[in-house]
Every structure is written in structure tokens, then in C-alpha cells.
Structure 1
Amino acid sequence: MGANISSKSPPFDGNEDVTFDHFEILRAIGKGSFGKVCVVQKTDTKKMYAMKYMNKRKCVERNEVRNVFKELQIMQGLEHPFLVNLWYSFQDEEDMFMVVDLLLGGDLRYHLQQNVRFREGTVKLFICELVLALDYLQSRHIIHRDIKPDNILLDEHGHVHITDFNIATMLTKESHVTTIAGTKPYMAPEMFNSTKPTGYSFAVDWWSLGVTAYELLRTRVRPLPAPQNVPCGDGLTSSLYLLLQLLELNPEKRFSQLKDIQAFPYLSDVNWDAVLHKRIMPEFIPMKGILNCDPTFELEEMILESKPLHKKKKRLSKKEKDPSKSNSSQASHLQKHLEMLQRDFIVFNREKVRPHHDSIQETMTKSGGTRREDNQNNTL
């Protein structure tokens, strides 16, 4: 994709807003229901990122604008070692853009489809890293609502990162969450409980973590069997007992806090400070030098996409020269919604807000009790 991009990008002024012009598009690596993802390089710093871009017209037509705005609002307030963090958000006439951490290790669904058999020690570290992320989200009053292998990405060293906050929601004391949202095989039973008007809480994410961990250990086709039918054999007894605590039907009794996990005997020897700072080397490291995703994304972008991203600059430049064509086919109500989207879009630049806080220190403060003695081994 990057072959047709001009290298003559404008020089970047640190005081101006980041835009599409400040990135070089390298290749497509994924797509969602209404957005696509490509690898980009920021021209001034040469740093690599993933750029998610969403067509405005499609978002309006599918009534997805509110979800995009909510995702932006949530992500701009988050930063954690085991999340896919937002760096920039901006827009142009056609698309909305979110620039996030680039993780080239592939998602866990991809590796399952490649018949990878994760060892128990690997899944144990995954669980530790993910519970730190969930504990952080809980401290920020965020329910992710879609924890599953597809939404867990690996970095080049094998550490996990939660992505896709498209259906995440914020829980406050004044409101209750009752909307059914997520991916069915990973959704907690209380989400389907119509007789309990008080709704559900953070425990739904910990149930999803349990289902995900079971799938990684067993490579068992979803949906998961009832917890009482989970076999405890093949040397996995300890880890499966932990999963039973995450798969407790009663959310009041379910493990859904970091302290619950830390107190469990299976994880009593974990150096949580070392986990947080990625000092524990994962057993599974993604293959380097290969594309850890479906290569057809690149072909689709180049061959099937009617408005490919790498031709955007030329396309928009042509529109500016001939503005009569740009709006002639748009219905008035669609144009009105597009104008509202243009006005209300949330522009974000983490580089401008980051100096005001130390996110890692804040993480450790929020996640009380995570620090252990440094004389513990940096292993699991």
C-alpha cells in the first residue's frame, strides 16, 4: 500500500494538530464491521502505529457514530501496559481515524486457528497480565464487554494487550448497565437475566476471561460446557480450578477483583510488580518476519476497495478542485448528520497530555496491593 504514497509530507509543527498527512501508509492488516486497520509510520518520529479508519458515511448509515464517539471518549482516558492505547484521533472529509499501539504478534484467535497449543505456563502469564488490565479498567469504571481471543493482541515479545473498546461502557453509581452486548459464547449468564433489573457489573469481563483462558488451554470449540462439567485432568488441575472461580454462575461469588486472583494458591508465587513491568519473559513468542494476520486484508484493500486509503490524498485534492461533485449525490438528511459528526468529533493527541501524568505509577496506585518483594523470581 505504501508504494504509492508520496514521501513529500509536510514538516510537522508540534503545536499543530496531527492529521492523515503526517503518516505514511504501509499496509493493511485487518478489518471490522465498519472499520479497517493498516500499519502506518509517523513521518517526523518514524514511529510505527496501527491506524484504524472508519468511513463516515457508513457509520452514519449504520447508526454507529455514537459507538465510535464513546470508544474515543473511553480510550483517551486510558493508558496501560496491557491495553492497546490510543495515541491520536483525527478526521478528514471521508473518514475518522484512530492511531493506536502497533502490535504485530497477531491476536489469539489467529494463533488458535494456526493450531498453536498454548502451554499452561503461557496461559498463566496471559491470565496475570489480563487481570491487571481488567483491574485497571475497573478502577476507571469501564466494562469492556467483549473479552475474547479475537480482542487480545500479542506484542513482538508475547505480552497480551486488550483491544476494541467499541462496545465498552462506563459504570457509574447513578446508572445500571442492562444492555445485552458482546459475543455470545463469552457473555456472562447474568447479562441474559431479564428478571434482575439491577443489571450487571464488572464481573462479566472476568467471566469472559475464564471462557477465553479455558479455550486457550483446551483449544476446545466454543461454546464452553457448564463449569461443573469442566474436566480436571491432563496436568491442568490447578489452572482449571482457577477457571472455575472465574466461571462461577453467581457474579457475587465470582472472582472479579485482583485481590481474589492474588490470593488464589495457583498464583501465590507470582511477582505482580514484575508482571506489570513486563519483566517476565513469555514462553510463547510470535514468529518474527512473517505476517501474523490474514494476508487477504492487503489484497482486498488494493483490489476490491473502491476508495483505497493510499489514494486518499489524490482523491481529496480532486474533490477540492471540483466541489460540485462532492455533495451532489448526498441526501439532505445524510449531509446534516455528516456535518454534525464533523462538528462533534473528538480530536486527541496523547503527546500533548502525557507529560501531565505518569500512567504506570497511577496504575500501581489504583491497583492496590500489586507490589511484591523484588527478591521473588521473575518467572511464573
Structure 2
Amino acid sequence: MSAVRWHGHRRAGKGCRHRSSSRAVSASETQRTAPGTRGRAGLGSGAAGAGTGPAPARSAALGTGPAPAPARSAPAGRGRGACQPPAPMFPWSKWKKRMGASASSSKRPVFDEREDVNFDHFQILRAIGKGSFGKVCIVQKRDTEKMYAMKYMNKQQCIERDEVRNVFRELEILQEIEHVFLVNLWYSFQDEEDMFMVVDLLLGGDLRYHLQQNVQFTEETVKLYICEMALALDYLRSQHIIHRDVKPDNILLDEQGHAHLTDFNIATIIRDGERATALAGTKPYMAPEIFHSFLSGGTGYSFEVDWWSLGIMAYELLRGWRPYDIHSNNPVESLVQLFSTVSVQYSSAWSKEMVALLRKLLTVNPEHRFSCLAHIQASAQLSAVVWSDVCEKRVEPAFVPNKGRLHCDPTFELEEMILESRPLHKKKKRLAKNKSRDNSKDSSQSENDYLQECLEAIQQDFVIFNREKLKKSQEQPSDSVSASETTEEAEAEAEPLHMCSSVCSSGSS
């Protein structure tokens, strides 16, 4: 066991979860200590998302009829700003077809199934996003030709910014969950420089990007996002997880336009009877009880905070600005007062049903707020929703991202190729050179013993994950199991799973 311990982190052997406290950067650096409740806003995902993609959608009734177009006259300083130039056209369909033809023309490599997945198993295609301490690129697995999004985080930067425990926390959560409206983890591995997460690839971009492109979201579109995110949040609740950072930046669209929740960097796990107390999240989307709990103590907060964030996001998608003028530099004291004195203004162009739904999501008192799937399903505003169709992605979204356009900032690729001091495509040569240099010097004369100690601790504590191998092992019955036992297990697995009130299975699309 390494001498370096990440604060609040404990290791439990093979398949263990790395528990760690974390601190909220987007909220405040000052927090009260509470087990498993701290966090830091983390890695942006760009256009990361869903691997193989859902089956073709068919039309299905979601609401009661067409909705009026949202108002677009933003107040000064709070609207979209000047029109931004459209992203360059990018022929995704031709590009993917070309990649498939290129891969099929050459012999696929065969990797030893007993070998852990590593960087050499993937072909790097292009950079598509970056966050505070990591980047995202599109990759193709060489042996299966499947495409994914790969997040990679530099170990030294994570150590310098005290982010290692946040990465471990996110991995701990992602390795245990899987849902049709989440961005699911497939592989995690490391090398000397970086930690890697390989997740579903979503090419539709995030909702923040589409807001910046002045997309006019209709009520019908926003209503579908609310339903899809309600299913995701209900699943997370069944797993005792509070996301704490639901916002347009963390909602990614697949190519059909369905929403997927990503970025669990400041998520926390709470058990029955527990409450979170940390000031964690992105201030404009944080629920009032988070600020109140931090400022005056009290009993803390729970799953209701994610539903408030969902309401803020839905309002912003419809109107183009948020219901409260909150910024990251606003003091907590002023925000507590703001929620008690300022009332939300709803557009007269919106339907009564949409206003009523938003009012229930944006209720300041969490006890009276819509905060679970059962509340949403029982509401008159969504009474016409066929939830089984929503879960199976049979409801056709009104907004479908342009498949001929690159839904991310194109400068990410230029930065990776030109400005990045350690570009990913040169990693293999760089690591070989570093290894040769390390072998030629006396390790006892290291300039930074602490850094080296931390790097060794990461190397030891990092958990390698392979969902593909996990699924195969679950599908193949053990040879030691009798035929009768196998039959009984198969029958049991065929029975429908009932997880809380969700109608949605936990399988990935």
C-alpha cells in the first residue's frame, strides 16, 4: 500500500470503490467536512456520448399538442450575445464510412483477452473538447472498430491541483452504473502520464453549445428532455447518487437528439438517512437549500437539488437566459436573500402546462418541489406521456442535431496539434524517450520526491475497468454450474427488473 493517501480515500482490494472527499470549485473553496460530500466541477465533455446508437425512432405522442415558440428577447447582458458564426460543416456520415472502410481494408489486430485494455488498443481520431484538467477526443478501438469518446487527465496536473480524489470518485461511480440516458463508462486505464476514461460517443453536442448557436428549443423538445432526465435522475437515486451538476454543459445529445447526462466529477453517494452538506456545484444551477445549509447549518440537502437544477436548465433552454441572475462570484449570503425576495418571471408565450411544470421544479421549499419520477409521472402536465416509449427512445425528438456539422469548437483539434506541449498522438515516442531517460538517472536524486511518491500512489490505487469483458463474463455461465441451476438463473434473469419507480432498464442503448 502506498504511503500517499488521497484525503478521504480508502482502498478495498480488487473491484474496490475509491471513496474520496472532494471540494467544490465552482461554488466555494471553504466547506464543512462531511464524509463523501465534497466536490469539484470537473471535465467538460465536448461532443462525447452514445456508442452504438439507439434503434431508429418512431413517432410517439409525448404531450398534448404543439407548443408555442419560446420568447427570445433577452434582457441586456443576459441573452445569447452577438450571433456567433456557425461551426464549420463536417461530413460525419462520410467520415465514419471512410473510417469503417479504412479499418476493414486492413487486418484487424487481435488482442489477448487476458490483457488489460491500454492506450495502444485505440486509434486517436480527433480532439473534441477540454475541461479544467483534462481533454476529450474521439477514438476507435482497433480490434472491434467501435468508436468512443476518450477523456484523458494528466496525472501531474491532477496532483498539482489536488484533483486525484475527484477522478477516483468519478471512476468509482461510473464503474457501478449504466443507464440509457447516461454517458456510460466502458474502459478505464492509465499510463505513466495520464488517466483515461473511455465512454459512450455522442456526436450531437451538448446543450450549451446549441444554446450558443441560438437554437430555439420548443416546449415539446424541452418536455422530452425533462422526461429523459427524470428517468436518469430516478435511476441515480436508486443508486444513492446525487449528481449535483445538472446543467446544459453536461447534457449531451446523440445523433437522434436524445439527451444523456454526463460528468460525475462532483457527484456524491449518500446512504439512507444521510444528507449532503458541501457547497458543491455550479452556482447558477444550485438549489437554495445548498446555500442555506452551508451558511446556517441545518440538516443539509438530498436528491431534490438535482431536480431544481433540471428546472433551471429547462427554463434557460426555453427562454435563453436563467430565471435568476446568479454568477459564480456572488457571495452566498446574497443568494440566500435573493431566493426569498425575487420571484421567477414566466413568459406569457408559454403554455399554462409548461409554466405549471416549471413552477413545481423551481419551488424554493424542497419538500414541495417535484423531486422524483413519481411526481413527474403523476403531474397533469405530463399525463399524456407514454413512458415506455420515452425509455425505449421511441419518441422522436423535435430537435435533431445536423449530422453534417461538427457540434463542438473546432479549435480543440488545432490546440491539440499545435499548442499542446504533450500531444496525444506523440505519446508513444514520448513515453519511450522518458523511460530511457529515467533508466539513466539515479532515482534517489529526484528533484521532486513528493511528486514521484504521488505518481506511484496513483499507479497503485487506480482501478482498471473493462465493461466489455464484464458483460461477456455475465453472459457466459460458469462450467461448474449445473444445467438445472443455469436454467433457473436464466429464468430469473428473464423476469423484469423493478428499480424504484423507474420504467427504464439500466442497460445502455
TM-score normalised to the size of structure 2? 0.68
The reply on whether 1:251 has 2:366 as its aligned counterpart is yes
Aligned AA for 1:72? L
Indicate the SS of the match to 2:366. coil
Structure 2 portions without partners, runs of 5+: 1-105, 327-338, 476-489, 505-509
Give the match for residue 6 of structure 2.
none
Give the match for residue 3 of structure 1.
none
Aligned AA for 2:455? L
Q: 1:33 to 1:8 in 2, by over 3 A?
A: farther
Indicate the SS of the match to 2:183. coil
The equivalent position to 1:342 in structure 2, one of 441, 447, 459, is 459
Give the match for residue 423 of structure 2.
308
User: What's the C-alpha RMSD, in Å, of the aligned pairs?
Assistant: 2.4
Give the CA deviation at 1:53.
0.1
CA distance in 1, matches of 2:354, 2:273: 37
Q: 1:235 to 1:364 in 2, by over 3 A?
A: farther
Give the match for residue 97 of structure 1.
196
The equivalent position to 2:414 in structure 1, one of 299, 308, 315, is 299
Give the CA deviation at 1:24.
0.1
The reply on whether 1:47 has 2:146 as its aligned counterpart is yes
Indicate the SS of the match to 1:34. coil
Aligned AA for 2:239? R
Aligned pairs, number: 365
CA distance in 2, matches of 1:323, 1:369: 53
Indicate the SS of the match to 1:178. coil
CA distance in 2, matches of 1:196, 1:363: 43
Higher Rg: 2
Give the match for residue 320 of structure 1.
435
Give the CA deviation at 1:222.
6.2
Q: Is the 8 A contact 1:135 1:258 kept in 2?
A: yes
CA distance in 2, matches of 1:243, 1:187: 16
CA distance in 1, matches of 2:199, 2:214: 28
Indicate the SS of the match to 2:172. helix
Range moving further from structure 2, 311-320 or 119-128: 311-320
Give the match for residue 448 of structure 2.
331
Indicate the SS of the match to 2:368. coil
Aligned AA for 1:368? S
Give the CA deviation at 1:324.
4.3
The equivalent position to 2:319 in structure 1, one of 218, 221, 228, is 218
Give the match for residue 376 of structure 1.
none
Give the match for residue 135 of structure 1.
234
The reply on whether 1:229 has 2:344 as its aligned counterpart is yes
Give the CA deviation at 1:56.
0.2
Task: Give a deviation string over 1:143-193, Cα, whole Å, max 9, x none.
Answer: 000000000000000000001000000011364310001110000000011
Indicate the SS of the match to 1:322. helix
Q: 1:47 to 1:252 in 2, by over 3 A?
A: same
The reply on whether 1:37 has 2:136 as its aligned counterpart is yes
TM-score normalised to the size of structure 1? 0.90
Give the match for residue 68 of structure 1.
167
Give the match for residue 365 of structure 1.
498
Indicate the SS of the match to 1:256. coil
Give the match for residue 303 of structure 2.
202
Give the match for residue 110 of structure 2.
11
Indicate the SS of the match to 1:200. coil
Give the CA deviation at 1:14.
1.9
